[in-house]
A = this chain, B = another copy of it.
Amino acid sequence: MYDEKLVRSIVKEVLDKLSLAPRAPSGKIPVGLSNRHLHLTTKDLEILFGKGAKLTKLRDLSQPGQFAANETVTLVGPKGRMDKVRILGPVRKETQVEVSRTDSYILGIKPPVRISGDIKGSGGIKIIGHKGEIDLREGVIIAQRHIHMSPDEARGFGVKDGDIVKVKVAGERALIFDNIIIRSGPTHKLDFHIDIDEANAAGLSQGDLIEIIKS
Contacts and interface: CB of A to CB of B under 8 A. Distances in A.
Contacts of A9: none
A176 B175 contact: yes
A215 to B, nearest CB: 10
Complex copy number for this chain: 2
A56 interface: no
B196 A102 contact: yes
A117 B172 CA distance: 17
Interface stretch (A12-20, A76-84, A185-193, A197-205): A197-205
Interface residues of A, number: 21
A208 interface: no
Interface string A47-74: 0000000000000000000000000000
A176 B201 CA distance: 12
Interface in A167-215: 172-179, 196-198, 200-203
B172 A203 contact: no
21 contacts: A100-B200, A101-B201, A101-B203, A102-B102, A102-B196, A102-B200, A113-B172, A113-B173, A145-B173, A174-B178, A174-B179, A175-B175, A175-B176, A175-B179, A176-B178, A197-B197, A197-B201, A198-B201, A200-B201, A201-B201, A201-B202
Interface of A: 100-102, 113, 144-145, 172-179, 196-198, 200-203
